Amino acid sequence: MGRTGIYLLVILSIVVGAAVVTDAVVVTDRERMDEFIESVTDRVSESRIDNALSYADPSKVTMELVHDGRRHRYNDRNASALKADARKALASLEGSKLHLIQESISLKGERARIALRLRTDAGLANTVFDLRRENDVWFLRRVIVN
């Protein structure tokens, strides 16, 4: 192999290496949705609820929690009630392990919808999470728990 071949091999190695590093550093929206799903499944505990609520910031994006046919909206005026209300809504599942049975992820521009069917210690549960992206950060807009 001549000098030109070696140079081409070095350049090719740099290009491939840069592509691999870029792929490892860039997190796609789908990967973010998978991370969200991981944060809300497994054993229901205060830390899991806090993980899910880390995607909520009612002072920036109004959030709605729908549970047992009741709809609660949270914004900057009542954001402090969200954590307590979410814990109350999930109290019946506390300590249960949530096993993911089926998932559906829909990404359309700045909006995402994640629908999950979960098996719990008490039976099946369906949840829907609507999210909205603002400045490359995903925020919960609505959570429906059936």
- Output the pTM of the full model: 0.77
Cβ count near 44 (within 10 Å): 21
**Residue 16 covered by a domain:** no
pLDDT band at 67 (very low <50, low <70, confident <90, very high): confident
**Residue 9 covered by a domain:** no
**Residue 8 covered by a domain:** no
CATH number at residue 105: 3.10.450.50
The DSSP string of 50-72 is HHHHTT--TTTS-EEEEETTEEE
What's the CA gap between 98 and 118, in Å, rounded? Answer: 6
**Residue 63 covered by a domain:** yes
**Residue 105 covered by a domain:** yes
In the predicted model, what is the mean pLDDT of the chain? 81
DSSP category for residue 106? E
**Residue 10 covered by a domain:** no
Q: What is the pLDDT of residue 22?
A: 40
Range of the domain at 114: 28-145
In the chain, the percentage of residues whose pLDDT exceeds 70 is 81
Mean pLDDT of 84-96: 77
Tally of domains within the chain:
1
**Residue 132 covered by a domain:** yes
**Residue 17 covered by a domain:** no
Mean pLDDT of 41-56: 82
β-sheet with 63-67: strand ranges across: 42-43, 97-108, 111-120, 123-134, 137-145, 63-67, 70-74
